Every structure is written in structure tokens, then in C-alpha cells.
């Protein structure tokens, strides 16, 4: 439809040569709209997701705007606004790293074969980037911020400029970061990073949650002031600081604030243009990768890893540790267990319901790492399977994997229990909580080993799914059943603790630590002993189950 | 042909060499059979993948398992190497039953499966170190062998790179190195040349020829007939889950001018091509 008017003009000007080339910006805007439309046309599910996310974003934006409007006149409004806008800008900077395939026009290497000049290209790309849900949200936040701060005509004029500048800086920032990192984003490392994004967002959300709780407390907003004094001079927040300054009548500060953001925009555009030019005139990344210099990995003989035992045990532990660091899926599950295991005691403590027992979460989450051990190997499990000939081999393999978990979990859980006891001054309950945590860890290693042998399932290597299609049933059954069994297994130690409390035998509560530790060890040993013959017997079945990813 | 003569020579050589290598084999083995398969069946749901295979692969030979896509080559090799449980049938390697005596079998065979991953987040050298130690070899020996294998397979320059960043040819080569590390008696390779560039293919070929020259057995699957014909002294032709022919390459080829034609005849593809007159409108002047 929109293309119709341009069609007849094309034959009229047969040779546009240099002067008559059509302006790039409308072409790019149409390209972006077509990509959007075609993407939605592909499936109704995608359309639904898009519409829902659009509605949700608009609702959220409306809420933010309402909240900001309500802040109008508050003493700390300026502090909150500058921090909010800085947060949004940080989000823009990080977004392309986590969602590299989010926007097809984001990858300028697709345009490398076209004869385009950098300057019109930058303008066209910048304008195109302003189309989308993200920019709408950003502009809404900026408008809300201006409403919260602007008093008087001068401030309103500055406000309009500030909204524009904020939007442009955010978009240019995202584009420049994406362009500078396009080699990383299209490489394996970039895809690895994208897998970790969910975790970073989840942990970040916890941080925001804690922050919001602090801010909504009495005189909560006052906490922001010291941070805001620095941030208010950083772009794009400085443009909103300018609005605040204009409202106070200090026009010099207002001009300075606007100038800082405008300078940032110019710098960003310059940087973007430079990287874009290099990128589009340099060889393709696949060629460069082949020539990439071989980085020597630190050999195990020199590091502390050489302390690992010899034979199969040390070999398997070394590989498991390397995978925990190098494989994005394994890394994510370890990082989630370590992060959440630490966060939960902290969050509950901050919320006022803290107890040293919350440290058991760390033990529980780390113990869960023992689940689906062979699924974590993916189909590479055949390499393990072809070296397991006896139940003894299988036992050594399982034990080495359990030892890897213990190597991390035992010191970590100890540190979390000690930390919780120190922070909450609950040393009286320290020994029993520690004992219970160790018993739980051992119980989960036991049930995890068994479920690894009896209910393995595939973990797809790519994407954010942790279970292959069709195996969700096995996965949830194994995890839920295992957790339940783990809890049941821990119940004797829990029972002992409760009984000692009820019987008023507080003097004997220290017993829970040695009993719990011994119990955990015994449970883990028994579980691995029971699981090993099953693994040795079911090697082909396990391989088939873990190869579906 | 030159290859035939060489292969024939190899055969007489290796019969004695094999006697030395598998001298402890059970009395059931008559003659130097490296692999003995009888009545092997596998069904996936309704689909029969392998329909009762009987096969006796002589020791010390370069053996090709050929067949079109979907013939059941991978399924057969997986069952023979203990990675897939057969519905019925028996497999013996060097006189030891694969499923009843895994201790004897697993140390004697090397495997390079197709479509299964490696531990790709290890570097090439780390992967070899891992595999060798998992097989119970002493650490120093593993490292020495790994250095030589990386060198011979032209991977020394990429030994510290993660396998996930390797090309297809490099992956096949590091997989081959893993399979050779413990000096197995029988090597099973599933499509070792699939997707491999000519230079890597030549390297792989050289290593395998040296290896069979020492009296070991290589069993590999392929659908590239020219390759099989030039490499193998013995072939088994598979189609639709059954063995259509087996024996020395020259015998299987018979009167046909190439193994390719003999193969097409055996799997019935020639008839399909001849019976294609219902495409007689294609090309020509009937437009």
C-alpha cells in the first residue's frame, strides 16, 4: 500500500545515480514493519505472544507513568527518576547481549553487501530502532518522569527535549553495543551467554524485589539520595536532572544537564558509526574465527586441580568441574543453586523472618545437582557407557560425580550456615541446623543417584528448555519424587531434632551435627551402592533416554 | 586391482597376527572371526530396523558395511558395540559375548558412533586425557599417546581449542583418536568420512591403513562405494535391515565393473531406475 506511490516514479527516473538515490530511512522503516508483520503472520501463537506482551508492557508503562505522576511534588522524586531512567538505560545496554536474535535488523552484517554510506545508514537504523515495544516503554517512562519533575513552561520545554534525548540515547546505546559485539553475539560464546540470561534476570529480579521493599519502607526514598547525586550527572539521566533544574529556575544547570546527554548521544553515534564501518568492511566473522589464535588452556597439572585423586575418580571429577564452568546449561544450574541458596537466607532475613534453618536451602539446591547426572552429559554419555563394564565401574563413576558436588556443597553449605548464624545471632541453633543441612545433602545425593539411574532424561543443549519434549513427565516425576523421597529420608534426623526440643533435652542438641553428618554420608553411600548396578545394567536405556535433546 | 592385491596380502598376514592377539578367545570361535553376529533383530515400534542379521567378520581386515540410508547400518553397529540393546540375537567379539561379558569386550573395542556427541566442552587434548584415563590407562601413557595421535591426525595446532569449536572433519579425527587411544583389537566406525574434507579423509585413511596393517580389524559403515571399494578387503551389503551379500570385496563385486554397480544390483536400485518410464515426459521435445 505504502509502496504504491513510489512505483510509478521509478521508471520516470531510470538512472538515480548518486544524487537521486531514494532516502534510506523510509525504506528501512518499511523493512522493519514488514519483518514485524511477516513474523506475526507465521503463527497465531506468535501473534498472541506479541499482542500479550504489547498489552502487558503498555499496562506496566501506564502503571509506571501513574506512579511517577503520583510522585510529583515529592522531595525525592528527582532522585528516584534519575535512578529509574539509568536503570532503563542499563537495560537497553544489556538487552542485545541477552537476546541477540531478537531483532533481525540488529545484525548489520546482513547489510554488508549493499552499497550504503555510513551516515544515512546510521540515521535510518536509529529511526527504525525507535519502532517497537521497548522504545514505547522507554518514552512512557521518560514522559512520566518529566511530568513528575516539570514545573513551569521552561521546564516543560526542557522536558520535551529530555524525552527525545532519553529515547535516542537508549536506542543508540543498544545499537552501538550490539554492533560492537556482533562477532561475539553470532559466535558460540554469544549463544552461551544467552542461555545464562534467564538466570541473570531471575537474580536481578530478586535484587529489584529487595530494593523495592527497602524503598517502600519509612523514608525509603531518602536512601536513594547519595547514589542519585552521582547518577544525576550521567546520561541520559542528566537530561531529566535538567528538567528538575529548570523547574527550580537554575537554567545553567539545566543547559549543562541537557548538554551532557546530547554529547553522549553524539559520542554514541560516532562510536556506532565507527564500529559499523569496520564491521561492514572487514572479513566475515567465520573467516576470522578460523584464524583465531589458539588460546592455551591452563593445564590441570599446575592448578589446585592436581590434588584430585588419580584414576577414574579424579578424571570424572575434573571433567565435571570443567563442565560446571564451561557448559552453559550446567553452569546455569550450578549458579542457580549457589545463588538462590545464598539469596533465600538473605531475603528471608531482610524481610524479618530469618532463621538459621533457611541455610538448608543451599544444601537442598546443591543436592539437587545430583539429579539426572547422565542427562547433563547429553548423548556424549556413550563415552561413559563404553567404559563401564561392571557395577564397580558404575559405582566409581557415580561416586566421583557425588564427590564433585560434595567438593562444592560441603564448604558452601558450611559457609552459609555459619554466615546465617552470625548474621542472625542464632548460634544456639547452629549445630542442629548444620547437621540437618548435611543430612539433607546426603539424602538428596542418595535419591539423585538413584533417579539418575532409573529416570534419566535429555537436556537440550540449545535454547532455554531444560527437558526434551515428551520427557517432561519423567523429569517432573524424578525431581518431585526425588525431593519428596529426600525429605522423607531426612525425617529421622528431623525427628531427632524435634524430639530433643520437645523432650527439653537442649543440652543434647549438639548431637544432631554428628548424627546428621554420619546419616548424610551413609544415605549417600547407600544410594550410590544401590544405583550403581542399575546404571551398569541399563546403559543402553540410559543412553537412549539422554540422547533425545 | 592394486587394492585387492594389497588386501589379499594383508589377509594372510593378519590371520596369524590375529591368532596372537585373540589367542585367549573362547573355543566357540572357529577360525579367525573378529565379530560374529547371529539372528540380530531390532524393532522401533512397528518399524523393523534390523531384521535378523547373521554375519561373520574376519579378523585383521578392513571391513566395509555398506547400504543406502535407512538400511540399518547405524542400528547394527550400535547393537554390536553395546550402545543399543537388541530385541534378540547374539554378538560375539573375539569370542566374547557383548552383553554377557562386557568386561572382556569393552576393553577390546574402539567406537566412533555417528550422531552422538563427544564431551565437547573439553579441548581436544583434555578429551583424550579424559577418555584414556577413563579406560584405566596410566596417565603418562595416555598423555604420550595423545601427543602422537594429535600429531599424526594433524590436530596438534588445535589441541587446546574446545571440541565444540571444531569443524566436522576435526571432530571425526578427535573421535577417531579417542577410539584408538587404548589400542583396541576391533575398531567400529560409523560413517567416519561423512562430511569430512579430502585432506582430513586422507589423514584418517592413512591412520586406519597403518592400524589394520598391524593385524587389527576395522569395521566401518559408509554409503560411498568408491571409498569402500578402494579401502576394504571385505564388505557386507545391507538393505532394509538385512544382509544382501557378504564376502571379500572382489567376490561381492562379481562380474560387475564396479562395487557401485554391484551394490545397485543387490539393493534393487537398478530396477527402480529402469522402471522409470513414467517420467518419460521429463526433458525432450514434449513441452
Span of A293-297, B75-79, B90-94, B113-117 with lowest mean pLDDT:
A293-297
Q: What is the pLDDT of residue B140?
A: 93
**Does A29 map to a domain?**
no
Any domain includes A287: no
What is d(CA A106, CA A96) in angstroms, rounded to the nearest whole number?
8
The last residue of one of the domains, among A278, A295, A313, is: A278
Whether residue A268 sits in one domain with residue A317: no
Structure confidence at residue B270 (pLDDT): 65
- A141 in any annotated domain: yes
Residue A292, in any domain of the structure: no
Q: What is the pLDDT of residues B189-244, one digit of tens each?
A: 999 998 888 888 888 999 999 999 999 999 999 988 888 888 899 999 998 999 99
> Which has the closest alpha carbon to B98: B80, B74, B86?
B80
Asked whether residue A225 falls in the same domain as residue A319, the answer is no
Same domain? A151 vs A104: yes
Q: Which domain holds residue A391?
A: 305-546
Residue A153's pLDDT is 85
Total Cβ atoms within 10 A of residue B114: 16
Q: How confident is the model at residue B5 (pLDDT cuts 50, 70, 90)?
A: very low
pLDDT mean over A311-323: 93
Co-location of A378 and A270 in the same domain: no
Burial class (CB in 10 A: 0-12, 13-18, 19+), B179: buried
C-beta separation of B267 from B244 below 8 A: yes
CB contact under 8 A, B136 and A312: yes
The partner residue sitting opposite B160, judged by closest CB among A294, A327, A544, is: A294
User: Which residues, in sequence order, are CB contacts of A65 under 8 Å at separation 6+?
Assistant: A140, A141, A143, A144, A147
Domain count, chain A: 2
CB pair distance less than 8 Å for A380 and B158: no
> Is residue A23 a part of any domain in this protein?
no
* Residue in A188, A318, A383 nearest the CB of B164: A188
For chain A, the farthest-separated pair of C-alpha atoms sits apart, in whole angstroms, at 99
* pLDDT, tens digit (0-9, with 9 covering 90-100), for A415-454: 999 988 888 888 888 999 999 999 999 999 999 999 999 9
Q: Which residues does residue A224 pair with via DSSP β-bridges, in sequence order? A: none
Asked if the C-beta of B45 comes within 8 angstroms of chain A's C-beta atoms, the answer is no
Rounded to two decimals, the ipTM of the complex is 0.84
* pLDDT value of residue A217: 64
Give the pLDDT band (50/70/90) at residue B29.
very low
Sequence ranges of the domains in chain B: 2-118+186-267
Greatest pairwise CA separation for chain B in angstroms = 73
Average pLDDT over residues B130-139: 94
Across the interface, whether the CB atoms of B83 and A386 are under 8 A apart is answered yes
For residue A8, is pLDDT > 50?
no
User: What's phi and psi for B220, nearest 5 deg?
Assistant: -135, 150
Q: Within an 8 Å CB–CB cutoff, is residue B100 touching chain A?
A: no
Using the Cβ of B165 and the Cβ atoms of chain A, whether some distance falls under 8 Å is answered with yes
Count contacts between A and B (CB, < 8 Å). 90
Find the helix or strand (DSSP H, E) in which B244 lies: strand B242-248
Band (B12; pLDDT cuts 50, 70, 90):
very low
- The residue ranges of DSSP E strands in B113-214, in sequence order, are 186-190
Whether residue A138 is found in the same domain as residue A200: yes
CA atoms of B61 and A3, how far apart (whole Å): 69
User: Does residue A430 lie in a domain region?
Assistant: yes
In chain A, residues with a C-beta closer than 8 Å to the C-beta of B117 are: 378-380
* DSSP sequence for A367-410: HGGGTTTTGGGGGGHHHHHTT--SHHHHHHHHHHHHHHHHHHHH
| Residue A380, domain member (yes or no) | yes
Distance from CA of B278 to the nearest CA of A (A): 37
Q: Are residues A349 and A271 in the same domain?
A: no
* Superfamily (CATH) of domain B2-118+186-267: P-loop containing nucleotide triphosphate hydrolases (3.40.50.300)
Statement: residue A295 has pLDDT above 60: no
% chain A with pLDDT above 70 = 83
Is residue A462 pLDDT above 80, yes or no? no
A111: in domain: yes
A18-22, A170-174, A225-229, A298-302 — which one is most confidently predicted on average? A170-174
Amino acid at each position: 500500500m505504502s509502496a504504491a506511490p513510489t512505483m510509478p516514479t521509478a521508471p520516470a527516473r531510470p538512472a538515480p545515480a548518486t544524487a537521486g538515490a531514494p532516502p534510506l530511512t523510509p525504506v528501512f522503516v518499511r523493512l522493519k514493519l514488514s519483518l514485524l508483520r511477516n513474523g506475526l503472520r507465521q503463527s497465531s501463537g506468535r501473534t498472541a505472544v506479541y499482542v500479550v506482551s504489547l498489552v502487558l508492557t503498555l499496562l506496566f508503562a501506564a502503571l509506571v507513568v501513574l506512579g511517577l505522576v503520583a510522585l510529583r511534588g515529592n522531595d525525592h522524586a528527582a532522585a528516584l527518576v534519575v535512578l529509574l531512567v539509568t536503570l532503563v538505560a542499563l537495560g537497553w545496554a544489556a538487552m542485545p547481549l541477552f537476546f541477540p536474535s531478537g531483532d533481525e535488523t540488529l545484525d548489520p552484517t546482513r547489510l554488508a553487501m549493499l552499497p550504503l554510506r555510513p551516515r544515512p545508514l546510521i540515521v535510518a537504523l536509529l529511526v527504525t530502532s525507535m519502532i517497537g515495544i521497548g522504545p514505547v516503554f522507554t518514552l512512557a517512562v521518560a514522559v512520566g518522569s518529566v511530568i513528575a519533575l516539570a514545573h513551569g513552561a521552561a521546564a516543560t520545554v526542557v522536558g520535551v527535549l529530555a524525552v527525545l534525548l532519553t529515547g535516542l540515547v537508549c536506542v543508540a546505546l543498544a545499537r552501538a553495543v550490539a554492533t560492537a559485539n556482533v562477532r561475539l553475539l553470532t559466535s558460540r560464546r554469544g549463544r552461551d551467554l544467552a542461555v545464562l540470561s534467564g538466570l541473570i534476570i531471575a537474580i536481578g529480579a530478586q535484587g529489584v524485589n529487595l530494593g523495592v521493599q527497602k524503598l517502600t519502607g519509612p523514608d525509603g526514598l531518602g536512601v536513594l539520595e547519595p547514589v542519585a547525586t552521582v547518577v544525576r550527572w550521567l546520561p541520559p539521566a542528566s537530561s531529566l536532572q535538567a528538567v528538575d533544574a529548570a523547574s527550580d529556575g537554575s537554567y545553567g544547570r539545566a543547559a549543562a544537564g541537557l548538554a551532557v546527554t546530547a554529547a553522549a548521544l553524539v559520542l554514541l553515534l560516532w562510536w556506532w558509526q565507527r564500529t559499523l564501518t569496520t564491521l561492514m568492511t572487514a572479513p566475515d566473522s567465520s573467516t576470522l574465527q578460523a584464524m583465531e589464535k589458539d588460546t592455551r588452556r591452563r593445564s590441570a597439572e599446575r592448578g589446585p586441580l592436581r590434588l584430585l585423586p588419580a584414576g577414574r575418580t579424579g578424571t570424572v571429577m575434573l571433567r565435571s568441574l570443567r563442565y560446571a564452568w564451561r557448559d552453559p546449561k550446567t553452569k546455569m544450574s550450578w549458579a542457580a543453586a549457589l545463588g538462590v541458596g545464598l539469596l533465600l537466607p538473605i531475603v528471608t532475613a531482610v524481610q524479618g523472618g530469618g532463621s538459621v534453618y533457611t541455610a538448608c536451602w543451599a544444601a537442598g539446591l546443591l543436592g539437587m545437582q545430583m539429579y539426572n547426572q547422565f542427562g547433563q552429559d547429553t548423548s556424549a554419555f556413550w563415552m561413559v557407557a563404553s567404559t563401564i563394564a561392571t557395577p564397580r565401574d558404575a559405582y566409581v563413576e557415580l561416586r566421583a560425580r557425588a564427590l564433585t558436588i560434595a567438593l562444592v556443597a560441603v564448604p558452601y553449605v558450611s559457609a552459609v550456615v555459619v554466615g546465617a548464624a552470625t548474621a542472625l545471632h542464632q548460634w544456639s541453633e547452629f549445630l542442629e541446623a548444620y547437621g540437618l543441612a548435611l543430612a539433607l545433602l546426603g539424602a538428596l545425593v542418595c535419591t539423585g543417584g538413584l533417579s539418575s539411574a532409573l529416570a534419566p532424561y535429555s537436556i537440550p543443549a540449545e535454547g532455554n528448555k531444560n527437558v526434551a519434549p515428551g520427557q517432561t513427565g519423567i523429569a517432573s516425576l524424578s525431581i518431585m519424587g526425588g525431593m519428596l523421597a529426600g525429605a522423607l529420608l531426612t525425617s529421622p534426623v528431623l525427628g531427632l531434632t524435634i524430639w530433643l526440643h520437645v523432650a527439653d533435652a537442649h543440652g543434647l542438641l549438639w548431637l544432631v551435627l554428628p548424627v546428621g553428618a554420619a546419616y548424610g554420608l551413609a544415605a549417600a553411600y547407600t544410594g550410590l551402592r544401590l544405583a550403581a548396578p542399575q546404571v551398569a545394567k541399563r546403559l543402553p536405556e540410559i543412553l537412549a533416554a539422554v540422547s533425545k535433546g | 586391482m592394486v587394492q585387492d592385491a594389497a588386501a589379499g596380502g594383508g589377509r594372510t598376514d593378519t590371520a596369524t597376527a590375529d591368532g596372537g592377539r585373540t589367542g585367549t578367545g573362547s573355543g566357540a570361535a572357529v577360525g579367525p572371526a573378529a565379530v560374529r553376529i547371529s539372528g540380530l533383530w531390532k524393532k522401533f515400534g512397528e518399524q523393523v530396523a534390523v531384521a535378523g542379521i547373521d554375519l561373520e567378520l574376519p579378523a585383521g581386515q578392513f571391513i566395509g558395511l555398506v547400504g543406502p540410508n535407512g538400511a540399518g547400518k547405524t542400528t547394527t553397529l550400535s547393537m554390536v558395540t553395546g550402545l543399543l540393546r537388541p530385541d534378540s540375537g547374539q554378538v560375539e567379539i573375539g569370542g566374547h559375548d557383548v552383553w554377557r561379558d562386557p568386561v572382556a569386550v569393552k576393553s577390546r573395542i574402539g567406537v566412533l558412533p555417528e550422531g552422538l556427541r563427544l564431551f565437547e566442552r573439553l579441548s581436544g587434548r583434555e578429551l583424550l586425557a579424559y577418555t584414556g584415563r577413563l579406560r584405566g590407562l596410566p596417565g603418562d601413557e595416555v598423555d604420550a599417546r595423545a601427543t602422537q595421535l594429535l600429531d599424526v591426525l594433524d590436530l596438534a595446532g588445535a589441541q587446546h581449542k574446545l571440541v565444540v569449536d571444531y569443524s566436522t572433519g576435526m571432530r571425526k579425527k578427535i573421535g577417531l583418536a579417542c577410539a584408538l587411544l587404548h589400542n583396541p583389537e576391533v575398531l567400529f566406525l560409523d560413517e567416519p568420512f561423512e562430511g569430512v574434507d579430502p585432506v582430513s579423509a586422507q589423514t584418517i585413511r592413512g591412520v586406519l591403513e597403518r592400524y589394520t596393517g598391524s593385524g587389527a580389524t576395522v569395521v566401518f559403515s559408509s554409503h560411498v562405494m568408491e571409498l569402500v571399494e578402494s579401502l576394504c578387503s571385505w564388505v557386507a551389503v545391507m538393505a532394509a535391515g538385512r544382509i544382501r551379500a557378504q564376502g571379500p570385496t572382489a567376490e561381492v563385486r562379481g562380474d560387475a565393473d564396479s562395487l557401485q554397480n554391484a551394490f545397485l544390483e543387490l539393493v534393487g536400485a537398478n530396477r527402480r531406475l529402469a522402471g522409470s518410464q513414467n517420467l518419460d515426459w521429463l526433458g525432450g521435445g514434449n513441452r
